[in-house]
Amino acid sequence: MLRFAALCLILALALPGAAFAQSNLEDGVHALFIGHSFFIPVAKSFDQKARESGFASHRSEMVFASGARGAPGSLWRDGEKREQIESRLQSGSVELLGMTSFGRIRSSYEDYQQWIDLALKHNPRASFFIGHSWTAGGPRIDTERFDQRIRETGEQLYQVVTRLRQEYAGTAIYFINYGVTASGMKARFEAGELEDIESLVGRDREALCVDGLMGHGGPMLTEVSALSWLSILYGVDVEDLDSGPYSASDVQEIVAEVVAYNRSFDGDYPER
């Protein structure tokens, strides 16, 4: 895995700034993120970092549901959550609707289609973002197997994204497998190459995950994942990213690897 990471870094650094030049969201947008605890904390960190980075047009809202209830199909079937989300979409001001999936439960084409149709009804120029997180139980799983699961489930979800892009050819649908941030950082920690992390599990800033059973992201994992969103969605050059309190670790290198891996998922996005 480390050899693959090194290759990703070479590919990333070979391209100017390692940013996604095709993204049409560079000015910042009004975003609505809906999902669970492996998605919404990253969205909150992204929101903060976008504002700190000077994206004057950026604004975001969130609707949270825990576990499988945060998957798009579950949110659609939950009358209360659906009403919360639709009430925000009805304003017509939401320019980016962000969704996720849940573990090995494959969110179907129809699950995303329902939300896309609803959002486009209220704003025909809306864009969409589907983010794939790391799988649950990371601290308990062999790192190589953990990474393999994240990539396999991400590829499965990308097949749904590809079909959505074909059906909604005039609509921008972004996809990021930011889950590889977790497996990459775990591999670095085990190799003694993640200076800012002192433990795999814990409740302080020096822990990679906040719990051992599920493997929810600690502060650094959450923030580094958000930086990959900032680079891919808003086009921020990797070398311009602020490492924040994690200056002892090469955060830019970690993000560059995540960005490079996600290049194969990039799309030909229509103008907003």
Say which CATH number the domain at 49 has: 3.40.50.1110
pLDDT for residue 7: 44
Percentage with pLDDT > 70 across the chain: 89
Q: State both tokens at 11.
A: 């590919």
Q: Does residue 77 lie within any of the structural domains?
A: yes
pLDDT for residue 27: 85
Q: Does residue 132 lie within any of the structural domains?
A: yes
pLDDT for residue 268: 73
User: pLDDT tens across 46-67, in order?
Assistant: 999 999 999 999 999 999 999 9
Strands 30-35 and 96-99: parallel
Helix, strand, coil shares, percent, the chain, to 5 = 50, 15, 35
Boundaries of domain holding 126: 2-11+28-265
Average pLDDT of the residues in 107-130: 96
Domain count, the chain: 1
Q: Does residue 17 lie within any of the structural domains?
A: no
pLDDT for residue 10: 42
- The Cα–Cα gap between 72 and 85 comes to 11
User: pLDDT tens across 9-20, in order?
Assistant: 444 444 434 445
- Least reliable range by pLDDT among 92-96, 141-145, 247-251, 268-272: 268-272
Q: Does residue 271 lie within any of the structural domains?
A: no
What is the DSSP annotation of 8-69? HHHHHHTSGGG--TT-S-TT--EEEEEE-TTTHHHHHHHHHHHHHTT-TT-EEEEEE--GGG
Q: Does residue 102 lie within any of the structural domains?
A: yes
User: Please, what is the average pLDDT of the chain?
Assistant: 91
- The Cα–Cα gap between 252 and 224 comes to 9
Burial classification of residue 148, based on how many CB atoms lie within 10 Å of its CB (0-12 exposed, 13-18 middle, 19 or more buried): middle
pLDDT for residue 22: 56
Residue type, 128: F
pLDDT for residue 269: 78
Percentage with pLDDT > 90 across the chain: 84
pLDDT tier at 102, thresholds 50, 70, 90: confident
Whether the predicted pLDDT of 203 surpasses 80: yes
Q: Does residue 107 lie within any of the structural domains?
A: yes
Q: Does residue 191 lie within any of the structural domains?
A: yes
Q: Does residue 22 lie within any of the structural domains?
A: no
What is the DSSP annotation of 80-145? HHHHHHHHHHTTS---EEEE--BTTB---HHHHHHHHHHHHHH-TT-EEEEEE-PPTTGGGS-HHH
